[in-house]
Structure 1
Amino acid sequence: MCGIVGLYTKTEALRPTLGQHLSEMLITMTDRGPDSAGIAVYGADTPGTVKITVQADDPALLSDLDVPGAAIRIVDTHAVLSLPADTAAATEAQLRATPGLRVMGTGSRIEIFKEVGLPVDVSRRFGLPQMRGTHGIGHTRMATESAVTTDGAHPFSTGADQCLVHNGSLSNHNSVRRRLAREGVSVSSENDSEVAAAYLTHAMAGGRDLGQALEGALDDLDGFFTFVVGTRTGFGVLRDPIACKPAVMAETDDYVAFGSEYRALASLPGIETARVWEPEPAKVYFWEA
């Protein structure tokens, strides 16, 4: 089941209200996924600075965070640490080793927030309508292959400024997981979607761009899936060759939008004159600034 939304702005017009539009789109997809929800938003970057988003079930762990040189912004069960790039890797390793903390994502622009609960509650808790940025993706989950947990919620991020949301199921994710492990890539959750995210990150680390990595997924990942992927400057969409999961896209001079159903796009400005289409099976769609 699950619901996916995404919005990639091509001009400045929608960037101040990106979060508002993503929130409305996400909440519209509630009946496709009432178990948990999450969003990734790409905001402004500061040269020489890296952001690390962490989550804790116990808010006291966030209040007690003491990271030298880091500015810490607490948002409900998450905290965004902004720190010098040359200390980010060591800090991330320290955070990952701290009991009770989960690293949601890192990068110069990305912030990821996800929790168990209805999309309307998740959006409110993290202040999604007030967020601004160039692009963002969101997911509402109906758990089928693993437990309803924060770990199982989307988006999944396995590389700097990269994330993925997924609707569907991969039949060969365990074999891909083992192959990635042999090549030094670990996947922490049981979710097949994190395997897909790690696959794309690994492919891009090997020199492919996002479009080429998505092309490779058609050969290496089996099952039925719709992927929406974000990078620091890009936005990509891919459906499997059967394409049994619903998907619709819309494009204007100001934006490109994705929704599992058209109703997720219906409130976007200019939708009445947008080019609206169903993305073709096994075709990579990719926009980049």
Structure 2
Amino acid sequence: MCGIVGLFLKNDDLQPQLGAMLTGMLITMTDRGPDSAGIAIYDRPRGGVKITVQSERPEDDFDGLEGALEKTTVRDIDMRLADTHAVITVDPGDRAAALAALEARGLRIMGVGEAMEIYKETGLPRDVAARFHLRDMAGTHGIGHTRMATESAVTTLGAHPFSTADDQCLVHNGSLSNHNRMRRRLARKGVLTKTENDTEVGAAYISSRIAEGASLGDALEGTLKDLDGFFTFVTGTRTGFGVVRDPIACKPAVMAETRDYVAFGSEYRAFADLPGIGGAKVWEPEPATVYFWER
């Protein structure tokens, strides 16, 4: 079943409220996905590369982590803790060394980018939001997901969003029937996935197309040709977010736009508390049609 939300702010004055607005939307979608929840928050790049990591034992794994990284080739580290996650900002030149050191310590990489941070865990959306203090987060845009697991276990790694490239991530409602075939096809190109979740395959497909030179719009168009099944994809990038539904479009979706923001939700009630929603243009995104906004 699952629930998706997305919010792209056109009015910079709303950026301090992004986390609060998205959190309200996410919690409203709880009965579409009570197993786990996640959110990707984007902010303007500030010169460093942010690596979001997750640990099952944060009290052990994060204690002394900053000092341990500084003993390697990584310098000028900024580390922020958020429950089971940490966001580690490094100089772009230290990106590869930092990733290698973090993976060697057994930490899970949730996402990497100059603008993106990803937080996801098992549990009710309201509890996940509270653990990470999502309401307090500011930014330019974000996407979120509440999951009802149907094809893989309820785990942190099975939660959405999925990220397979810098500053790109994907949330998904639906089911892909050819994800194993596509997984093998991507592996032959050197694009490897880490979970059994079909959504990660969708994310990897889009990022691989972009790496090959396609625009995000072209990559989303490609999903309609190369991915079988029923799906609604909402994808985040450094500068915006995009939406595409399969040609049958059996999964619910609605969008709203004002002069201040563009919002996506699996149901209209996700928009109920957004400012100015009474005057918004509201519509159901068309099947097999790509929508995209960027700053």
- Name the TM tier (shorter chain): over 0.9
Q: Distance in 2 between matches of 1:284 and 1:44?
A: 24
- Which residue of 2 is the match for residue 18 of structure 1? 18
Q: Distance in 1 between matches of 2:142 and 2:69?
A: 28
| Paired residues of 1:13 and 1:254 also in contact (CA < 8 A) | no
- Which residue of 1 is the match for residue 69 of structure 2? 67
Counterpart of 1:122 (choices 107, 112, 128) is 128
Q: Distance in 2 between matches of 1:158 and 1:90?
A: 18
Secondary structure of the 1:122 match is helix
Q: Distance in 2 between matches of 1:265 and 1:256?
A: 11
Q: Distance in 2 between matches of 1:171 and 1:93?
A: 34
- Which residue of 1 is the match for residue 8 of structure 2? 8
Q: Distance in 2 between matches of 1:234 and 1:187?
A: 24
Q: Distance in 1 between matches of 2:100 and 2:239?
A: 25
Give the Å deviation of 1:96: 2.2
- Which residue of 2 is the match for residue 80 of structure 1? 87
Secondary structure of the 1:14 match is helix
- Which residue of 2 is the match for residue 256 of structure 1? 262
- Which residue of 2 is the match for residue 58 of structure 1? 57
Tell me whether 1:91 sits opposite 2:98 in the alignment: yes
Q: Distance in 1 between matches of 2:91 and 2:12?
A: 28
- Which residue of 2 is the match for residue 37 of structure 1? 37
Q: Distance in 1 between matches of 2:169 and 2:198?
A: 14
- Which residue of 2 is the match for residue 155 of structure 1? 161
- Which residue of 2 is the match for residue 112 of structure 1? 118
Q: Distance in 2 between matches of 1:98 and 1:170?
A: 33
| Paired residues of 2:37 and 2:123 also in contact (CA < 8 A) | yes
Which is further off, 11-20 or 134-143? Answer: 11-20
Give the partner amino acid of 2:254: V
Normalised to the residue count of structure 1, the TM-score between the two structures is: 0.98
User: Per-residue CA shift, 1:18-67, capped at 9, x if unaligned?
Assistant: 000000000000000000000000023212x1000000010110123122
Secondary structure of the 2:69 match is coil
Secondary structure of the 1:20 match is helix
Tell me whether 1:272 sits opposite 2:282 in the alignment: no
Q: Distance in 2 between matches of 1:261 and 1:96?
A: 38
Q: Distance in 2 between matches of 1:201 and 1:42?
A: 17
Give the Å deviation of 1:13: 2.6
User: Per-residue CA shift, 1:210-235, capped at 9, x if unaligned?
Assistant: 11100011000000000000000021
Q: Distance in 2 between matches of 1:81 and 1:171?
A: 36
Tell me whether 1:228 sits opposite 2:227 in the alignment: no
Give the Å deviation of 1:112: 0.3
Give the partner amino acid of 1:175: R
Secondary structure of the 2:292 match is strand
Tell me whether 1:182 sits opposite 2:188 in the alignment: yes
User: Per-residue CA shift, 1:127-181, capped at 9, x if unaligned?
Assistant: 1000000000000000000000001000000000000000000000000000000
| Paired residues of 1:170 and 1:223 also in contact (CA < 8 A) | yes
Q: Distance in 1 between matches of 2:160 and 2:138?
A: 20
Give the Å deviation of 1:93: 2.4
Q: Distance in 2 between matches of 1:207 and 1:97?
A: 31
Secondary structure of the 2:62 match is helix
Identity value in percent: 67
| Paired residues of 2:69 and 2:101 also in contact (CA < 8 A) | no
Counterpart of 1:171 (choices 174, 177, 183) is 177
Give the Å deviation of 1:71: 1.1
Give the partner amino acid of 1:51: K
Give the Å deviation of 1:83: 0.5
Deviating 4+ runs (over 3 angstroms): none
Across the two proteins, how many residue pairs are aligned to each other? Answer: 287
Normalised to the residue count of structure 2, the TM-score between the two structures is: 0.96
